[in-house]
Amino acid sequence: MQNLPKTNLKDLTKQLENGKYMLFFTADWCPDCRFIKPAMPAIEAEYPEYTFLQVDRDENIDLAGEMGIMGIPSFVAYSDGQEIGRFNNGDRKTKAEVENFINSLASTVEK
């Protein structure tokens, strides 16, 4: 999983113009983030159509604010520069819950 460097919403949207992306908002100090992190490689492997980007919430606190990310871990999906869904709260997330969220996006992006 790639780490997203410090950025803002305008530059991020430009970066995500082509393709499907999954932003994973996290922080080192977050116990619920540490809970899901071991499952992330398997989740990433299951969904090769997405480029997964890890976003350090503390490093990107302004971006998180612009995007309304109030709790972590949170996931935000993009397709061709448009947000198509988010799993955004401060609750602990299981692998199955993250997979259900990603699976729910399929009907959103089908043309």
Reported confidence tier of residue 69, pLDDT bands at 50, 70, 90:
very high
**Is 30 an active-site residue?**
yes
- Of 30, 53, 64, 76, which is the active-site residue? 30
pTM score of the predicted model: 0.90
**Is the confidence at residue 54, as pLDDT, over 90?**
yes
% residues pLDDT > 90 (the chain): 80
4 noted as active-site residue: no
Which of these is catalytic: 33, 53, 76, 105? Answer: 33
Helices and strands per DSSP (H, E), number in the chain: 6, 5
**Residue-range domains of the chain with CATH:** 2-109 (3.40.30.10)
